[in-house]
C-alpha cells in the first residue's frame, strides 16, 4: 500500500493519545529486592523508609503518542500531536520539548482544571515497573481545516473515560475516507474490547501490537501459532497487521501474505526496554507513509527498537532515516524479512 502525500496537506501524520511527563528512576540493586510470588516477580521496597536511588531522567513529553510523534519527526515526516495537557509547568515543558523535535503543537489543548499526566518508571537492571495515571481531560476531537487533514492518523493510549472521544474519531474517519488510520491500542483500549471499538478496527490500515496484546484483543487466549493469531487480528478488519514477539522478532500480515523479521543483532547491552514497542510501531508507519511496502517497513523497524533500548527513556535512542540505513548496511547475513507462506 502506498500513501500519496499532496502539497496541500500540512501534516503527513497526526498522532493522537495521552502524553505524560515520564520520570525514570534508576534504583540501587542493594536497596531493593525482587521476590517471585505465584510465578510473578514482585519488586520489594522497604515500607516507611527512605530508599536511596542511583539516578533520575525525565522525558518531558512521553507516552505512546508523543514517542511515536518524535520517531516520525526524526524520520522526516511532518507531524502534529493532538493531545491534552494541564496548564501547568509540566504541560509547558511538554509543549517546549515537542517544539524542539519539530512537532506541530497547534492541536495540543491546555486544560485549565486538570494537571498534566505524570508517570514514574522504577528501573532495576533491564526491567522496570511503571506507575501510571491518566488524568480525565475534557476529551473532544478538534475541527480540522482542510489544510490540517493529514494522510494518516496514529491513535494510541488515551484515558479510561475517553469513549466519546474515540467514537468522535471514528465518526470523523468515516466522514474523511482519504485519511488512513494506524492503531497501536493502549491498555484501556484493549480492555474496552474489539467489539466496542469495532469501527476503529475496521477502519484501520495498520495495526501494531505485541503478542500478549493481540491475544487479549482477539479474546482467544494464548495462541498456538502466530499465523492463527495474525488471521484473528485481520478478521477484526485491519488491512495490515504487525505483531511483535519479544526475542522471537515480529510477524506481519497483509491479505494472504505473511512475513517474519528477527530482532536486529546487536552486542551492546540493553539499558532500558521502555519505548521499544512505540519505536517499532511508529517506524513501520513512517516507512509506509513515504511509500515503502510493509515488508520494507518491517526490516527497518527493529533497528529503531534496538537503538532505543540502549538509552534510558523512550526517545533518546530514536534514529534518523540515514542512521537506520547505516545500520542496515552493516547488518550481518540473516537479518532479513522472510516470507512464511
Q: How many CB atoms lie within 10 A of CB 195?
A: 9
Per DSSP, the residues of 241-255 read EEEE-GGG-EEEEET
Nearest to 250 by CA among 335, 323, 156: 335
Write down all domains in the chain, each with its CATH number in brackets. 13-19+61-339 (3.40.1190.20)
Q: How confident is the model at residue 5 (pLDDT cuts 50, 70, 90)?
A: very low
Cα angle vertex 211, ends 338, 199, to 5°? 100
pLDDT digits (tens, 9 = 90+) for 230-285: 999 999 999 999 999 999 999 999 999 999 999 999 888 899 999 999 999 999 99
Residue 220 has pLDDT above 50, yes or no: yes
Residue 224 has pLDDT above 90, yes or no: no
> What is the pLDDT at residue 267?
81
Q: Could you say which DSSP state residue 126 is in?
A: T
Paired residues of 182 in beta bridges? 154, 206
Of the chain, the percentage scoring pLDDT greater than 70 comes to: 97
CB distance 73 to 79 below 8 Å: yes
Nearest to 123 by CA among 134, 131, 113, 133: 131
User: What phi, psi does 178 have (nearest 5°)?
Assistant: -75, -15
Return the SS3 of 258: strand
Q: How confident is the model at residue 3 (pLDDT cuts 50, 70, 90)?
A: very low
Residue 1 has pLDDT above 50, yes or no: no
Q: Which three cell numbers stand for residue 30?
A: 542493594
Return the SS3 of 71: helix
Of the chain, the percentage scoring pLDDT greater than 90 comes to: 89
pLDDT digits (tens, 9 = 90+) for 102-156: 999 999 999 999 999 999 999 998 889 999 999 989 999 999 999 999 999 999 9
Mean pLDDT of the chain: 94
CA distance 75 to 322: 9
Q: Which three cell numbers stand for residue 181?
A: 488510520
Separation in Å, CA 341 to CA 251, 334, 338:
12, 18, 9
Q: Regarding beta strands 257-261 and 250-254, do their DSSP bridges make them parallel or antiparallel, or are they unpaired?
A: antiparallel
Q: How confident is the model at residue 8 (pLDDT cuts 50, 70, 90)?
A: low
pLDDT digits (tens, 9 = 90+) for 192-213: 999 999 999 999 999 999 999 9
Paired residues of 152 in beta bridges? 13, 180
Lowest mean pLDDT among 10-14, 157-161, 258-262: 157-161
Nearest to 136 by CA among 108, 167, 165, 174: 165
CB distance 114 to 137 below 8 Å: yes
Using the CB atoms, write b or e for 268-298: b if 16+ within 10 Å: eeebbbbbbbbbbbbbbbbbbbbebbbbebb
User: What phi, psi does 22 have (nearest 5°)?
Assistant: -95, 125
Task: Record the pTM.
Answer: 0.94
For the chain, what is the radius of gyration of the CA atoms?
A: 20
Amino acid at each position: 500500500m502506498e500513501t500519496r502525500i499532496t502539497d496541500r496537506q500540512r501534516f503527513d501524520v497526526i498522532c493522537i493519545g495521552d502524553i505524560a511527563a515520564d520520570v525514570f528512576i534508576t534504583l540501587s540493586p542493594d536497596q531493593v529486592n525482587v521476590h517471585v510470588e505465584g510465578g510473578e516477580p514482585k519488586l520489594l521496597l522497604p515500607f516507611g523508609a527512605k530508599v536511596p536511588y542511583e539516578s533520575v531522567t525525565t522525558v518531558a513529553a512521553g507516552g505512546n503518542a508523543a514517542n511515536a510523534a518524535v520517531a516520525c519527526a526524526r524520520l522526516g515526516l511532518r507531524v502534529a500531536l493532538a493531545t491534552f495537557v494541564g496548564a501547568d509547568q509540566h504541560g509547558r515543558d511538554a509543549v517546549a520539548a515537542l517544539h524542539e523535535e519539530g512537532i506541530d503543537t497547534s492541536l495540543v489543548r491546555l486544560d485549565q482544571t486538570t494537571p498534566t499526566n505524570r508517570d514514574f518508571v522504577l528501573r532495576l537492571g533491564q526491567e522496570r515497573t511503571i506507575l501510571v495515571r491518566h488524568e480525565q481531560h475534557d476529551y473532544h476531537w478538534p475541527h480540522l481545516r482542510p489544510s490540517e487533514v493529514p494522510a494518516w492518523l496514529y491513535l494510541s493510549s488515551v484515558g479510561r473515560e475517553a469513549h466519546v472521544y474515540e467514537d468522535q474519531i471514528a465518526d470523523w474517519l468515516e466522514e474523511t475516507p482519504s485519511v488512513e488510520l494506524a492503531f497501536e491500542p493502549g491498555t484501556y483500549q484493549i480492555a474496552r474490547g474489539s467489539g466496542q471499538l469495532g469501527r476503529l478496527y475496521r477502519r484501520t490500515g495498520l495495526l501494531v501490537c505485541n503478542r500478549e496484546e493481540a491475544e487479549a484483543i482477539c479474546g482467544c487466549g494464548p495462541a498456538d501459532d502466530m499465523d492463527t493469531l495474525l488471521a484473528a487480528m485481520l478478521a477484526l478488519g485491519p488491512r495490515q497487521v504487525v505483531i511483535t514477539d519479544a526475542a522471537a522478532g515480529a510477524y506481519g500480515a497483509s491479505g494472504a501474505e505473511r512475513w517474519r523479521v528477527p530482532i536486529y543483532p546487536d552486542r551492546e547491552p540493553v539499558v532500558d526496554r521502555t519505548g521499544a514497542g512505540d519505536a517499532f510501531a511508529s517506524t513501520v508507519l513512517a516507512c509506509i507513509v513515504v511509500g515503502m511496502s510493509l515488508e520494507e517497513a518491517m526490516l527497518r523497524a527493529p533497528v529503531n527498537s534496538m537503538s532505543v533500548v540502549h538509552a534510558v527513556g523512550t526517545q533518546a535512542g530514536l534514529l534518523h532515516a540515514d542512521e537506520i540505513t547505516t545500520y542496515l548496511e552493516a547488518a550481518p547475513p540473516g537479518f532479513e524479512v522472510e516470507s512464511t507462506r
